[in-house]
Chains A and B, each alone.
Chain A
Amino acid sequence: NAGVTQTPKFQVLKTGQSMTLQCAQDMNHEYMSWYRQDPGMGLRLIHYSVGAGITDQGEVPNGYNVSRSTTEDFPLRLLSAAPSQTSVYFCASSPGTGIEQYFGPGTRLTVT
């Protein structure tokens, strides 16, 4: 099992560019989430999904879109990158609520 994989590991964008952060898991988990981690802020939930075809907003959804067409994949799209979106992004999956979340290795994004 690869667990949760994320690509790319690092990315530099210019303001206004769009891009998609990829996330995949091979554990057949129903629940997947995207977080961002900033110094002094802790991890904050961006979007989450309880299963294929179902997504919902978390704490900081503005500027991001998600889709969940398969159980395995949960991509995060930045519509028009802004310097405030410079952060480390983690994708996580879980077999159920209240159960351990498994995190991917993260994507370090810098927006200039």
Chain B
Amino acid sequence: RKEVEQDPGPFNVPEGATVAFNCTYSNSASQSFFWYRQDCRKEPKLLMSVYSSGNEDGRFTAQLNRASQYISLLIRDSKLSDSATYLCVGMNTGFQKLVFGTGTRLLVSP
């Protein structure tokens, strides 16, 4: 079983829709979590960190449920420019032990 698992998608949604992705993790020692965004044939870029209390950045909301060991990302009012692959990332104890999920692909259509 992969340490961080994501539904690969693709999620096809119209502009303006709300879409949510979940990500599950198996290592209860994972301390920190992040969502990265990766455009086609580009490098990953940090979208947002995920805090236990939940956090929001504009149209994006991230939540962490430690009891059930999952992380979620909610995107409201989807834009065409949101089309990308979203990578769920966990960080275990120790330096830079980032564990990446395989990504969820989002396609936003007009």
Contacts and interface: CB of A to CB of B under 8 A. Distances in A.
Interface of A: 31, 33, 35, 40-45, 48, 50, 90, 94, 97-98, 100-101, 103-106
B32 A42 contact: no
B31 interface: yes
- Sorting the interface of chain B by its residue count into under 10, 10 to 19, 20 to 34 or 35 or more gives 20 to 34
B45 A42 contact: no
B46 A43 contact: no
A98 B95 CA distance: 8
Interface in B60-110: 87, 91, 95-98, 100-103
B103 A42 contact: yes
A38 B96 CA distance: 20
Given A50-B96, A97-B91, 19 more contacts: A31-B95, A33-B96, A33-B98, A35-B100, A40-B8, A42-B2, A42-B4, A42-B87, A43-B87, A45-B96, A45-B97, A48-B95, A50-B95, A94-B96, A97-B95, A101-B96, A101-B98, A106-B42, A106-B43
A103 B44 contact: yes
Contacts of A35: 100
A104 B87 CA distance: 16
Nearest to B42: A105
Contacts of A42: 2, 4, 87, 100-103
Nearest to A96: B95
Nearest to A35: B100
A64 B74 CA distance: 38
A34 to B, nearest CB: 11
A40 B96 contact: no
Contacts of B100: 35, 42-44
Given A42-B101, A98-B31, A103-B44, A31 B87 contact: no
A42 B91 CA distance: 15
Q: Give the 7 A-B CB pairs with smallest separation, nearest first.
A: A103-B43, A43-B100, A42-B100, A42-B102, A100-B46, A48-B96, A98-B32
Nearest to A50: B95
